[in-house]
């Protein structure tokens, strides 16, 4: 379990923050890179190939078909609030 990097970005000004995380899609893409800096790795089997299921915003492993939510295991997991509100 790694600490969430976002909480350490207090130096980020609000306009810069919004620029970076203002769009929902950018939030997910930023989260993706925070979570998997070297690309997707399946938490179940370590496989690196996946497909993205857009409707549910989850990533499915090609090997074991485990579906991983970007927000599971992060502070965002419990929230139903759009990520832009964070
Ligand atoms: Zn897998």
pLDDT in tens, 18-56: 666 667 777 778 888 888 899 999 989 999 999 988 777
Please indicate, yes or no, if residue 61 is contained in any of the structural domains. yes
Structural domains of the chain, count: 1
Residue of 78, 29, 34, 75 whose CA lies nearest to 52: 29
Cβ atoms 51, 59 nearer than 8 A: yes
DSSP letters spanning the chain: -PPPGGGG-TTS-HHHHHHHHSSHHHHHHHHHHHH-TTS---TTT----EEEETTTTEEEETTT--EEETTTTSTTTT--S-GGG-
How far, in Å, is the centroid of ligand 1 from the Cα of 85? Answer: 31
Which pLDDT value is given to residue 10?
A: 62
How far, in Å, is the centroid of ligand 1 from the Cα of 83? Answer: 26
How far, in Å, is the centroid of ligand 1 from the Cα of 58? Answer: 13
- The residue with greater pLDDT, 85 or 56, is 56
Please indicate, yes or no, if residue 81 is contained in any of the structural domains. no
Q: Residue 68: is its pLDDT beyond 80?
A: yes
Query: Where residue 72 falls among pLDDT bands split at 50, 70, 90?
Result: low
Please indicate, yes or no, if residue 54 is contained in any of the structural domains. yes
Average pLDDT over residues 70-84: 62
Please indicate, yes or no, if residue 31 is contained in any of the structural domains. no
* Enclosing domain of residue 69: 41-74
Please indicate, yes or no, if residue 47 is contained in any of the structural domains. yes
């Amino acid at each position: 379990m790694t600490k969430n990097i976002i909480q350490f970005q207090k130096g980020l000004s609000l306009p810069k923050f919004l620029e970076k995380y203002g769009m929902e899609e950018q939030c997910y893409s930023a989260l993706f890179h925070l979570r998997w800096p070297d690309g997707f790795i399946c938490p179940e089997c370590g496989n690196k190939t996946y497909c993205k299921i857009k409707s549910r915003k989850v990533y499915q492993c090609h090997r074991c078909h485990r579906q991983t939510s970007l927000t599971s295991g992060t502070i965002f997991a419990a929230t139903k609030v759009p990520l832009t509100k964070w």
